[in-house]
Amino acid sequence: MVRGVRGAITVTEDTPEEIINATQEMLTALMDKNGFAAEDVVSAIFTVTPDITSEFPARSARLMGWTRVPMICSQEIPVPESLPRCIRVLLHVNTDKSQAEIKHVYLRGAAALRPDMASD
């Protein structure tokens, strides 16, 4: 069965190092909380807010060994007053978990997006 798994994290500045570190933190948390490995990931869709331009989040995943996962990066629509410097991901994952068992991850400032699902 394929399930959607969501994650989001903010960065303090738009630098390649910050984008890579934050994206890897988010993906590692998603893997840890949901018990899947890179080979279980069907595909990944990353989005970034318009103020993030220095690095592709997908590169972060490839640096973690996700070399065979189809991925794409896109820009979030620029909604006024939206959360700045935010990286989001929608993973499609092969899993036996029910929808209710999936743990979505909202880290750092992204906890404001979904306080009901915020992670430490």
Delineate the domains of the chain, giving CATH numbers in brackets.
2-117 (3.30.1330.40)
Q: Is 6 a catalytic residue?
A: yes
Structure tokens at 15: 């630098």
By three-state DSSP, how is residue 117 classified?
helix
- From 25, 73, 86, 101, active-site residue: 73
CA 56/CA 27 separation, integer angstroms:
14
pLDDT at 115: 81
For residues 20-32, give the mean pLDDT.
98
- From 6, 55, 59, 85, active-site residue: 6
Q: Is 86 a catalytic residue?
A: no
| Backbone CA torsion sign across 53, 32, 30, 62 | positive
Q: Nearest Cα to 83, choosing from 8, 3, 4?
A: 8
Of the pLDDT bands very low, low, confident and very high (cuts 50, 70, 90), residue 47 is very high
Percent of the residues in the chain that have a pLDDT greater than 90, as a whole number: 92
pLDDT tops 90 at residue 116: no
